[in-house]
Amino acid sequence: MKNSTLENLLSEIGIEYRKEYLEKLERFYFLLTEKNRHMNLTAITEYDEFMRKHFADCLVVLKFQSFSAGQRILDLGTGGGFPGIPLKIFLPETEFVLMDSVRKKLVFLEDVINELALKNISVVHGRAEDLAHSGEYREQFDLVLSRAVSNLSSLSELALPFVKTGGRFISYKGDNGKDELLRADNAISVLGGRVEILNEYVLPGGDRRCLIFINKEKKCPMKYPRKAGTPTREPL
């Protein structure tokens, strides 16, 4: 057990935890790096780097955003489970949906959910462009989170249609977030969003990242998102 690394990290970024959460994070690290030998889930596998660049990075949002039991949260393009799984561990009462277009990643995440005995969490397979037109998901989430999926302009077209009016989309970005935001201005307003704030932070170890908060002020026009592939090929 190297829980002391995790404890130090979380204290450094100022996030409260229970011992049980650290054990689950550590178990997730082992499950993921094991699976990663056969499936491409992460480029980062070294323990300390993984703790900082995946876990600390995913959890930092707890410092900026308040969460509550009744909320329904979507992790769009969850891949190996980021940020959804680490956040779920810290927010046992909040409902999470993990969405991805690659089925085998979700099969792995179902195993993780069972192994860690996580509750109030499910996976959904499909492309955001299609699922955002289904009544089950369109404008049904209080919060949509997305990390490392695509540039902010196309990502806004994928994410904002899932957010309820009055809800929020939070995009995890690197230190190029400000530039992306400038280029996404038009897309965000067309889709009914308004930028609330760009929160910058420095991860232990020195990497600069940011969280862009976009509030959903109005419903999205029904023609968005456009058909699969178009939001990335022709950003608004």
Residues in contact with ligand SAH by CB under 6 A are 77-80, 82, 99-102, 105, 127-129, 147-149, 158
36 close to 42: Cβ distance less than 8 angstroms: yes
Please, which residue, 18 or 227, has the CB nearer to ligand SAH?
227
CA 102 to chain centre: 16
* 180/175 Cα distance (integer angstroms): 10
Closest CA to 86 of 40, 3, 29: 29
Please, which residue, 120 or 232, has the CB nearer to ligand SAH?
232
Min separation Cβ 165 and ligand SAH, Å:
22
Please, which residue, 5 or 101, has the CB nearer to ligand SAH?
101
Min separation Cβ 45 and ligand SAH, Å:
13
Please, which residue, 77 or 192, has the CB nearer to ligand SAH?
77
Min separation Cβ 4 and ligand SAH, Å:
25
Please, which residue, 127 or 226, has the CB nearer to ligand SAH?
127
* 156/6 Cα distance (integer angstroms): 32
State phi, psi for 160 to the nearest 5 degrees: -60, -35
Min separation Cβ 157 and ligand SAH, Å:
10
Min separation Cβ 127 and ligand SAH, Å:
4
Give the nearest residue (CB) to ligand SAH.
79
Beta strands 121-125 and 141-147, pairing class: unpaired
